[in-house]
Amino acid sequence: MRKPVVLISGAAGEIGHALIDHLVEAGGRSIVTLDLRPLEPALTTKVSRAFTGSILDQALLESIEAEFAIDRIFHLAALLSTRSEFTPVAAHEVNVRGTLNLLELAASQARSRNQNVVFFYPSSIAAYGVSSDAVMPETGWDECSHNQPITMYGCNKLYCEHLGRYYAGHYRQLDAEPVGGKVDFRSIRFPGLISAHTVPSGGTSDYAPEMIHAAAQGEPYECFVRPDTRIPFMAMPDAVGAILGLMEAPRDSLTRSVYNVGAFAPSAGDFRSLVEDAFPSAAIGEAIDTKRQRIVDSWPDDVDCSAARRDWGLAPEYDLVRAFDEYLVPTIAALYQS
């Protein structure tokens, strides 16, 4: 019997970068990665195999399947929300067809080994579509409310949440013989994420990480949303902690397949003040992009994370101040000094 490995798609992206380090530190299964871009050399040395290629390349997926037994998948590859609006059909291909390909791979692995394959899918706050006159509940929107996204990316994420639920509970339901192994689909709706090590590309929550990374490099930054714009965010170590917390939870403690997470919900103005306090020479201006503003305005000011806390113990370590003082500012300052 081959030893099962973990497969990470989109491994060269922001979450993949942080996740690989944590999985390696924790020990355990070998890691196989797949990304359009080559993995950084520092990460390549940490994984068993790093494939450079597309999740749309069936031949490549088949050769990975032929070579490895896979029992965990972190399917992180996607085009983010701003980028997807410029190329909606390509976004649909990558975000939906790519996810379908990975779910099929998971189902085929589960069937052939008669064992569940645990599948992590990062969904997004973009799955929401909240109208401006909607009155937000005190604890934020729950996972089932206001699911009328206005972006291609949000539509893709919402649909793939459903695909995952289908593969986990209803896949090939009319087959004569029930299939043994299943896809154990687990998903998190991420808010904006802020990493001290990397800057996102093509997202609409990017104003927050872009602002702090620009200030740390002594570069001017024009914020593309109004100062009163508010959505939830999370520091990258807590995002990775949430992924691992959900993936390690006993199946029978999970009451849903998709969970909101979030840690703090500052306005863009709050964020700017903290950046200016940390980097007094920061030159942050405003150049509001009304179209991107409309997208951020369609996302909730905050989300209700009670299901994640209850079912698998979501407990972010970083609130906004701690994220700045203990994670973002020291790490980012050191990053650009070296």
Give the binding site for ligand SER (CB under 6 A): 80-81, 124-126, 153, 190, 192, 203-205
Least separation, in Å, of the C-beta of 153 and ligand SER?
6
Nearer to ligand SER, 109 or 151 (CB): 151
Q: What is the dihedral of CA 10, 98, 189, 32, to 10 degrees?
A: -40
Q: How far is the CB of 288 from ligand SER (least distance, A)?
A: 17
**Residue 78 and residue 181: Cα distance in Å, rounded?**
26
**What sign results for the dihedral spanned by CA atoms 9, 10, 16, 21?**
positive
Query: CA end-to-end span of the chain, whole Å?
Result: 46
Give the contacts of 103 (CB within 8 A, at least 6 positions apart). 119, 163, 164, 167, 183, 185
The smaller minimum CB distance to ligand SER, of residues 61 and 261, is found at 261
Residue whose CB is nearest to ligand SER in the complex, by number: 203
* Eight-state DSSP code of residue 183: E
CA distance 75 to 163: 13
| Inter-axis angle of helices 207-216 and 268-278, nearest 10 | 10
Q: Please identify, using beta-carbon distances, which residue of 181 and 203 lies nearer to ligand SER.
A: 203
Q: HSE-up of 210 (CA within 13 Å, CB side)?
A: 18
- Our CA dihedral for 130, 135, 141, 146, rounded to 10 degrees, sits at -30
Token reading at 303? 């989300």
- Rounded to 10°, the helix 14-26/236-248 angle is 60
Helix (H, G, I), strand (E, B) or coil at 277: helix
Catalytic residue numbers read 153
Q: Measured from the CB of residue 95, what is the shortest distance to ligand SER in angstroms?
A: 11
CB of 71 to ligand SER, least distance (A): 27
Find the shortest distance in angstroms from Cβ 83 to ligand SER.
8
For ligand SER, the closer of residues 65 and 93 by Cβ is 93
Distance CA 246, CA 259 (A): 9
Residue in 163, 55, 50, 167 with CA at minimum distance from that of residue 106: 167
Q: How far is the CB of 260 from ligand SER (least distance, A)?
A: 12
